[in-house]
Amino acid sequence: MPDSDLVVSRAAGPADMDAFIRYAWEIYRDDPLWVPPLIPMQEEFLDPARGPFFEFGQAEYFLARRNGRVVGRISAHVSGLYEKYHDNETGFFGFFECENNRETAHALFDAAAGWVRAKGKVRLHGPLSFAIYDEVGLLVDGFDTPPAMMQTHNPRYYEDLVTSWGFTKTFDWYAYRISRKPMHDAEKLAKLRDSILKRQKCTIQPIPRKEFAKRGPQIKELFNDIWSKNWGHIPLTDRQYQDLFVTLQPLVRPDLETMIVDDEDNIVAFSVVSPDMNRPVKRFNGKFGWWQKLQLVWDCRVKPLTHCRAVIMGVARSHQWKRLHHAIILNIVVNFLQNHPKMEYCDCSLIPESLEQWNKTLMDYGGERYKVFRLYDRDI
């Protein structure tokens, strides 16, 4: 029988939103791998008056309570940009956290479905929190390692909660890690990288900090063009790009941001690799005051690197099939072999399952697929 004490209601007001954010601590209190979100940043991200998503989207938040105690949460949202580039029939859910109880989960999905249905949608898709280049997908494989920055993390039982409501798989995203292996000879890999670049009359170089403001918009436009044919792509807005890369840039070491330019100084490929900020952030337990900011700068800019994440990589359409994606990956490997002797591995994610060329190349150079994130949908 349904639990008459279970109530799902809209998160209304600051107290409910605080409960919405902090409920994650209840779910993961016994999970040593979980990385708590930074509360001030999550508050801004979820706030319709401040979050970048709300330039083109709308969202509602729901809490499930039993006998007054929070036992689950979910967001429902619609995206004007998604509708512009894809269809106007799909609504989304995200920020899903729930006790191990199908009834609770189904009540949350019902609430999200009802909200997007009222917006004229006939399909519920997710989890997306909020857009395709934010945290995306349900972790379905790779529970034995901590999430890298900007990756989701969830209990194993979430997959049952999702599929038991009738969701079916839409698409998978992969995370790879490249560790030191006997096959890695820095000198040989550097020669291979350089031979590819020479053949294409290109050079690889860091993005000088003084040029970042100039080059940044070029990279944004190049990224939006490169990824336009990939599954679920929605172009990054100026605000999203600023929040993702310009904010990140002061924490990234100069040798981790690179671009490949042709003989006319056009950017034809690029990569941005960041220290894995989840490593220090885990210690903060959601706090992000001036002391935590200083610690983050120290860990990312000064301490020997042990883990990093390739946040973004791409090759211009004009230069695809010219092995420049090989040069980018080789450069990442050579850099940490030569310059970061304590590096344990570099996470390369998220790679769509449909991007066979990148998936194969990452594995060719020792990449190990170690996490899978899944998106689902259901007609409503």
- The pTM for the full model equals 0.93
Structural domains in the chain?
Answer: 6-172 (3.40.630.30), 178-373 (3.40.630.30)
* Residue 285 pLDDT class (50, 70, 90 cuts): very high
Per-residue pLDDT tens digits for 66-92: 999 999 999 999 999 999 999 999 999
Question: Which residues are bridge partners to 274 per DSSP?
Answer: 309
Residues above pLDDT 90, as percent of the chain: 70
**Distance between CA 221 and CA 241 in Å, rounded?**
10
Sign of the four-CA dihedral 286, 289, 290, 293:
positive
Number of C-beta neighbours around residue 4 at 10 A: 7
* Residue 182 pLDDT class (50, 70, 90 cuts): low
**Distance between CA 257 and CA 231 in Å, rounded?**
25
CA angle in degrees (0–180, nearest 5) for 371-37-350: 30
pLDDT for the residue numbered 215: 67
* Residue 287 pLDDT class (50, 70, 90 cuts): very high
pLDDT for the residue numbered 1: 42
Number of C-beta neighbours around residue 332 at 10 A: 22
**To the nearest whole number, what is the mean pLDDT of the chain?**
91
Three-class secondary structure of residue 328 per DSSP: helix
Nearest partner of 98 among 191, 47, 164, judged by Cα: 164
| 347 residue type, one letter | D
Contacts by residues 357-362 (CB-CB < 8 Å, ≥ 24 positions apart): 357/325, 358/313, 358/325, 359/174, 361/325, 361/326, 361/329, 362/176, 362/178, 362/329
Which of 69-78, 114-123, 176-185 shows the lowest mean pLDDT across its residues?
176-185
**Distance between CA 132 and CA 231 in Å, rounded?**
9
Residue range 187-213: mean pLDDT, rounded = 86
* Residue 305 pLDDT class (50, 70, 90 cuts): very high
Question: Is the predicted pLDDT of residue 245 greater than 70, yes or no?
Answer: no
pLDDT for the residue numbered 59: 98
pLDDT for the residue numbered 299: 94
